[in-house]
A and B are shown apart, each in its own frame.
Chain A
Amino acid sequence: MTETTTTTADAGRSLEDADEVETGPGVFRRLLRDRLAVVGLALVTLFTLAALFAPVLAPHDPNAVDAVDRLAPSSWEHPLGTDELGRDTLSRILYGARWSVGTAAVAAVIIMVIGVVVGTLAGYFGGVLDTLIMRVVDVLLAFPSFVLYLAILGTLGPGLRNLMIALVVITWDEYARVVRGLVLSLRERGFVRASLALGASDRRLMVRHILPNVVPPVVVLASLQTGKLILALAALGFFGLGVQPPTPEWGTMINQSRLFLQTSPALMIWPGLAISLTVLGFNLLGDGLRDVLDPRMGSSKYQR
């Protein structure tokens, strides 16, 4: 993705290479050279595995109540102790990864697809459609997403379905802005113009030539966005607006541990640590990916 002035010769070559965006093993090798990115990758992998294999890894049923062993400190039986109902904290953290990381991942994919499609259409076709879409994006970008999540969930009521609606409706804006900008500049590039001159259809141009070049920045954005989504989910869970108890979700767990802050601070610390480490993982990975895939995006972090 080195930026060069496109001569005719360049255009011809780019036309053939258009699909070969640097996403192969070379990128991965360069990513592994960045120590912080490796830490990020490890953290993300760790919590993804926890989510996938929670039933195998968890020593107990996350919702099994034990009236005798309530608010227990850590022991061989309960490595991270138990909560106010005697439920095993480690098991709840492991299953919680499904709700906290899993929900964020699903939301992130839906948001990414919508954002990329909207951004591509706006950038490619321009005109009234573009103006309308960008007006909406302006408003969404100008305003803190969390206030809008709160407003939507406050009106619709809590729960997983409404949570998804709020996240998807509000968060596609950044992808749309980034992708639209890329499409606008790609449209002027030699290989796209050449392809257009050869009579390629709009659809073919978008799918074969534009989308593959949009992938690297979108991957970077996705990693950073997933971190933000996990933070938002946790905060909404903390407000009691997310997945409802007894479902083990990290933010909800912290909300329920509030009453025991003085006596059992560990109940708050473990899920807090889980959220922080996961978000840290996605942030480190995102930073690393940005350095490898798209150095020009360096300052995008400050846009918000």
Chain B
Amino acid sequence: MTGYLVRRILALVPIWLGISLFAFSLASLSPSDPATLILEREQDEPVTPEQLEAFRERHGLNDPFVVQYARWVGRAAQGDLGESFRSGQPVFAELVSRFPATLQVTVPAFGVAVLLAVGVGVLSAVRRGSLSDHGSRIAALLSDSIPSFVLAYLLIIVFSVNFHLLPVAGRGTWRHLVLPVLTLGLATSASLMRLTRSSLLEVLDEDYVRTARAMGLPGRTVVLSHALKNALIPVVTLAALVLGSLVTGTVIVETVFAWPGVGKYVVDSIFARDYAVIQGFVVFTGTIFVVVNLLVDVLYVRLDPRVRLGGGG
């Protein structure tokens, strides 16, 4: 098991480095020179070429790309993502302070998605080809096709504008949470639903399920305690895969509902041309990705004896 995990960590490090390299390269893409931007902010009179040169020399901006990247990534690995143009505060601290608000939406949304996916997935696998199976397939197709911001506005129109049941936007009471969580949960559930269904169908074909049935155990017991337990193992790994749509969805949902989390912060920063925040956000999400992937691997190893005892795969 240790060998397996070491191998996984070794595979994830280059991915993190790749993401950080991408984030660092963004700086050279920006149409306006960050050094000029910073100097202009610090003084009222126009920036002279001498000042610019002195600034670039002082901050090592004249060094080769590789040297600059190494220095930057070294700092990033220690949580130093530079400073925001707007606030002058460290980007890392700004991101971390907004992270709880983001978790407040994403964690319950993930819960909603899993409950929905497992419930519907089980129903459609057990009654394969039935009306409810077709219904769930269509629901999954729709969830894949409707953009999450459109879904969010539809929910707002129904629940906030027409029935005045829930607030349109903002953060405060639990009622503010309902629509963002619902939007994100619905938008994320489709792929989970398909995986639960196909995974359960596969398991229902296994010998031990047939044996359990032959022994005369009731269908409910067979499905819930024998099959589902094993079918959910691959679903656990999907938590890592769904993370992508969760992150994307968070950025969109937070913008629609004016939710003060990491996603809204980065969108605001884009319009303020706060490049350090954009870079920092990429590294921040990249780190979360690597960590979650690793956690899921650990969980997978613990859940699936085939991986645990087989010496890794």
Find residues 232-269 in chain A having any chain B CB closer than 8 Å to their own CB.
234-235, 238-241, 251, 254, 261-262, 265, 268-269
Decide: A265 and B161 in contact? CB cutoff 8 A.
Answer: yes
Shortest distance in angstroms between B69's beta carbon and chain A's nearest beta carbon? 15
Kindly state whether residue B221 has any CB partner on chain A within 8 Å.
Answer: no
Interface residue B282 (Cβ < 8 Å from any Cβ of A): yes
When A138-B18, A147-B251, A239-B267 are in contact, do A284 and B141 touch as well, CB less than 8 Å? yes
**Complex: chain A residue closest to B11, CB-CB:** A138
**Cβ contacts under 8 Å, B293 to chain A:** 142
Question: Does any Cβ of B come within 8 Å of A152's Cβ?
Answer: yes
B222-255 toward A: CB 8 Å interface, digit per residue (1/0)? Answer: 0000000000000000100101110110011001
Majority secondary structure, A binding face = helix
* Chief secondary structure at chain B's binding surface: helix
Size class of the contact patch on chain B: 35 or more
Cβ of B270 and Cβ of A147 under 8 Å apart?
no
B92 at interface, CB cutoff 8 A: no
Which stretch (A6-14, A118-126, A154-162, A206-214) binds chain B? A154-162
B159 interface residue, CB < 8 Å from A? Answer: no
Taking CB atoms, residues of chain A closer than 8 Å to B147 are: 231, 234-235, 238, 251, 272, 275-276, 279
Also in contact, A135 and B14, with CB within 8 A (given A272-B153, A283-B145): yes
Chain A residues closer than 8 Å to B200, beta-carbon distance = none
Counting CB contacts under 8 A, is B77 at the interface? no
The size class of the interface chain A forms with chain B is: 35 or more
- Contact in complex: A147, B141 (CB < 8 Å): no
Contact call A155/B30, Cβ cutoff below 8 A = yes
Q: Are B270 and A154 in contact (CB under 8 A)?
A: yes
From B29, B161, B244, contact of A155 by CB (8 A):
B29
Answer yes or no: B285 CB below 8 A from chain A CBs: yes
How distant is B277 from chain A, measured CB to nearest CB, in Å?
9
A144 — which chain B residues lie within 8 A by C-beta?
243-245, 247-248, 285
A147–B270 alpha-carbon span in the complex (Å): 12
Q: Are A150 and B266 within 8 A (Cβ)? A: yes
B286 and A156 form a contact (CB under 8 A) = no
Asked if B23 is an interface residue, CB under 8 A from chain A, the answer is yes
| A-B contact list, 9 entries, CB within 8 Å | A144-B245, A144-B247, A147-B282, A155-B26, A155-B30, A157-B31, A227-B145, A261-B157, A265-B161
> Contact residues of A with B, CB < 8 Å?
135-136, 138-139, 142-144, 146-148, 150-157, 227, 231, 234-235, 238-241, 251, 254, 261-262, 265, 268-269, 272, 275-277, 279-280, 283-284, 299, 301-304
8 A-B pairs with least C-beta separation: A139-B18, A154-B270, A144-B244, A272-B150, A280-B145, A146-B248, A279-B145, A276-B146
